[in-house]
Amino acid sequence: MIGHFETTVPGEVVQEVAIAEGVATSVIIARAVLAEGSAVMIVAAVQMVEAVLVAMVEVVMAVVSKVA
């Protein structure tokens, strides 16, 4: 699963699932937008995917800082 991280921190599982679903949703939206070919929508989809990836990195860093 994309965005899945093994942790022992309570509450992290919820975040993991949300991130994985967000990535999957972003990919689906991006594919639909690319099929339509609207430049404005493509930019919006790219920004959404970027936001999801930033959130994933933030969760990883939070988990690493709690473990360390």
pLDDT of residue 65: 80
Q: Is the pTM of this model over 0.75?
A: no
Q: What is the pLDDT tens value at each position of the chain, 68 positions in all?
A: 455 555 554 556 556 666 666 667 777 776 776 676 666 766 777 788 888 888 888 888 888 887 76
Measured between alpha carbons, how far is 41 from 55 in angstroms, rounded to an integer? 21
Measured between alpha carbons, how far is 2 from 38 in angstroms, rounded to an integer? 27
pLDDT of residue 1: 45
Please give the C-alpha separations between residue 2 and each of 24, 45, 48, 56, 68, in angstroms, as whole numbers: 8, 18, 16, 10, 23
